[in-house]
Each structure stands twice: as C-alpha cells, then as structure tokens.
Amino acid sequence: MALTIEQISALPKIELHVHLDGSVLPQTLIELAQQQGGELPVADPDELSAYMSAPESCQSLNEYLRTFDFVLPYLQSYEALERVAYELVQQCADDQVQYVEVRFAPQLHRQQGLTVAETYEAVISGLRRAEQQFGVMARCIGICLRGHQDEQNMEVVEAAAPFLQRGLVAVDLAGAEALYPPELYAAMFKRAQQLGIPVTIHAGEAGGAENIAIAVSQLGAQRIGHGVRLQENPQILQEIADKHIPLEFCPISNLQTKAVAEWSLYPIVSYMEQGIHITVNTDNLTVSQTSLTKELMTLQERCGLSDQAIVQLQRNAASAIFLEQPAKAQFMSDYEAKLLQWVQHNML
C-alpha cells in the first residue's frame, strides 16, 4: 500500500542538506526589501516566487544557482540572517522535521561589513531561537565556495572552529562543480580536519564519480552532497558502500539541475539495494518549491519507493547527523521512539 500525503506529512523526518539562501519565504523577501529600501520587480508573494525558484525549463546547475543572486542582496545584515534562519526551522517544523542541518556560505553575506564570525553568530542565533520555539534541533554548516579565493575559504574554516558543537557541526564545499574540481580545495579541508571539524562535500552532481572519490580521499568528506553520479564508476560505488559514506540525495533539485535526466533514471532504489547509505533532503525549499514530504511523495510515485524504504531513509539520516556524542546517541534514541510510534500507526 502506498502511503498517503497525510501519512508522509506526519512522518518524523530529518533534513541534512538544505541551503539557507535557497529557502527564504517570498513574503519575507518583500518585507526585507521594504525595510532595506530595495526594489523588487513585483510586490505579490505568489508572483515573486517565480523569480525565487528554478524555472521549469532549468537545464543545468549553473542556471539553477542563478536564482540565488536575486535573494542575496537582502541577506547582508545580522537581523536578516537571524530571521531567515529562524523561519527555515519554522518551515521544517511545519513538515514534522525533528532535526535539521542548515548550510550557508558566510562570504556571500558580507557586502555590508559583517565578519565571517558574525554571519555564523547570526545564523546560529536564529536556529537557537527557533529550536526553543518549535522543538526542532537545528545546527549549521559553513560552506566554502568553488571559485572563491583560497584565503576566503580558509577564513570560513578557521572562523568555524570556535562555533564547533556550539551551533555549528561541519563545513562544506559547494558551487560550480563542473568548473572547479575538488582537489583544488584540499588545503582548506585538511585544515578543517586538523581543527576537528566534520566535512561534507558537494560532489557527483555536476561532475562524475571521480569527484566523489577525491572528496573522500583528499578532502576527508564524511558525507557527500548529492552523489547521484556515483554509478558512473562501479569501483568507486563499491568503495563508498564499503566505507558507509552517506549520500545526501536531493531528488527534485537533482532533476532540475539535470544531474539526472529523468525520474526513470533516478538511482535511489538501485543504490539502496547495493548497500549505499542514502538520505533524502530538499536542497532548497524555495528554489525547488519543495518540502521533505513532497520529496518522499515524489519518490514513492516516480521511483516506486516502498514504505519500508521511506522509513529506512529516515534511519539512515539519523545515523548520519553531524551531532557530537553523547548528544547524537541521545537524539537517535529519542528519534527512533518517535519513528516506531509512526510505524505502528501507519504500517502495522
């Protein structure tokens, strides 16, 4: 029996891969623009969402990423970052998300003079306020960017260290993967490892399986963002399975960026059958016009994902969170109890 949208909506979920600047509410952008004296092309939230989301005809990751340029000018103050971080967790709470790791690139939010540390403080403050309000455990991940200068990226890593396990749980590398292979960024992620900061890397999205192997071997990636192109190299696929490296799948985004050409080719079922540690995430709530419920419903309809697989994906995500011990073990125990309760109500 397929699960209904009400059942999937009620499922306690975990979000490991969601970008702050891709998940801003249209109404919030309107209010931020008014406060900051900015000029938006339209004043209606529904009309504005068309400017903030990927076009239906989206052909590539680079085209997908252009939607961010529209929002970023309004996310340059402490107050704006704090607010959108809070509201992202609120959106997660509405979708029964129990734990979220919110990622953002500090260097993109410094046009009005914020330091990297201040951007971390602002986002963590919003996440904490929302955690207290909504009961969703919320942490952040700092992103280094492909195409940025080494010293800019190194600053993101160095500034993350004081916040480690004080609201921040990892660092990441994102951006135009096809133009900038991961080996260019080995130095800053070696530094992250020296500082004891966990690492996740966007790889195998706009580039091939080799990028995934390099991200793990040279950049110390403990998780991989996307990784859908892993199947292009069976040997690397087996290595990732053997090492239990979780992949952060973002299905609707992966179709929009053409990381996968069509749903019939989406490899989630085959990867799970081959023992790959898959998690399902949203990537960008606004840019992809999505939620975890929508992602899971879509996978059920388009890829024949079973009820059992949907539950397994949540367990996979719980074991992949970057929370420190003993907090991680405590969260996993509490979460498993909630998940079992849902299973008893919906599957037994």
Q: Which residues are catalytic?
A: 205
Pairing label, strands 223-226, 278-280? unpaired
Q: Is 272 helix (H, G, I), strand (E, B) or coil?
A: helix
Specify whether the CB–CB gap between 163 and 124 falls below 8 A. yes
Specify whether the CB–CB gap between 95 and 9 falls below 8 A. yes
Q: Is 94 helix (H, G, I), strand (E, B) or coil?
A: helix
Q: Is 57 exposed, middle or buried (0-12, 13-18, 19+ CB in 10 A)?
A: exposed
Residue the block writes with tokens 């249209």: 26
N-term to C-term CA, the chain: 11
Give CA separation, 32 vs 24, 51, 192, 274, in Å.
Answer: 11, 16, 34, 47
* 269: number of Cβ within 10 Å: 15
What value does the CA radius of gyration of the chain take, rounded to a whole number of Å?
Answer: 19
Nearest to 165 by CA among 332, 328, 334, 337: 328
Instruction: List, as one string, the DSSP characters of 139-205.
Output: EEEEEEETTS-HHHHHHHHHHHGGGBTTTEEEEEEES-TTTS-GGGGHHHHHHHHHTT--BEEEESS
Cα 21 to Cα 30: distance, rounded to the nearest angstrom: 15
Instruction: List, as one string, the DSSP characters of 91-124.
Output: HHHHTTEEEEEEEE-GGGG-TTS--HHHHHHHHH
